[in-house]
Structure 1
Amino acid sequence: MIQIFGKKNCNESKKAERFFKERGIKIQFINLKEKAPSKGELKSITAKYPLEELIDVDGTEYKKRNLQYMVFDLEETLLENPILFKSPILRNKNEIILGYNPEILKGWTELEK
């Protein structure tokens, strides 16, 4: 099953969710406003993407918290405040991509059929 770690109000997350629904492929949507990835899930994500690429430095929450002026433990901060993740993060078995990329997702749909 394909997992989408996203935010309900994020256009890229909506596009990814719609992409799979239109093709009749089941997904598991994890709303980053409500739940963080587990430490194990984060470890699998950071095997491909460094933590620095996962935090949404352009997002409202990052700026609202003035994180650009602070020194903090990035992993701990992301796990405690999952809204700070860039979204969507998509996972299909051992493959992970950051952001909506329909070309890669088309390949995933072939595997799911």
Structure 2
Amino acid sequence: MNIQIFGMSKSFDTKKAERWFKERRIKYQYIDLISKGVSPGEYRSIKAAVGGFDALVNKSCRAYEALYMAYITPQAAEEKLLEHPELFNAPIVRNGKQATVGYHPEVWQTWE
């Protein structure tokens, strides 16, 4: 199992996800979305695993409205998402080609 947690240090759900893996002594790699972001290749892989762009975007964050995300084309919205990682829902937990957005221990338990 090669677990990666893409999250934000201030996100409560990111902290819960980290705690869940620590309690089970499952090694994981933490990637800070704000400082490191997500590469275009990782983004495509995660987007395919979680069911698309809408699952990845936090529509309630301030940056979503400030960047007029609701009014731009889908391609431009994806570019903005990669430029402004604070728009991502967190945590994004990835195991190879599988991924979840948010806190979903019931899914993580099924991963081997």
TM-score tier by shorter-chain length is: 0.7 to 0.9
The correspondence for 1:91, drawn from 90, 94, 98, is 94
Gaps of 5+ in 2: none
Q: Quote the sequence identity (%).
A: 42
Name segments (4+ residues, structure 1) moved above 6 Å: none
Gaps of 5+ in 1: none
Partner of 2:78: 75
Partner of 1:55: 57
Q: Let me know the Cα RMSD of the aligned residues.
A: 1.6
Distance 1:69 1:12 in 2: 25
The correspondence for 1:105, drawn from 90, 93, 108, is 108
Deviations 1:33-78 (A, max 9, x none): 1121111101101113211221111113323x25256425111101
Q: Which moved more, 1:44-53 or 1:17-26?
A: 44-53
Q: Is the 8 A contact 2:4 2:95 kept in 1?
A: yes
Distance 1:66 1:41 in 2: 23
Q: Is the 8 A contact 1:51 1:74 kept in 2?
A: no
Compute the TM-score of the two structures, normalised by the length of structure 1: 0.85
Compute the TM-score of the two structures, normalised by the length of structure 2: 0.86
Distance 2:18 2:54 in 1: 25
Partner of 1:7: 8
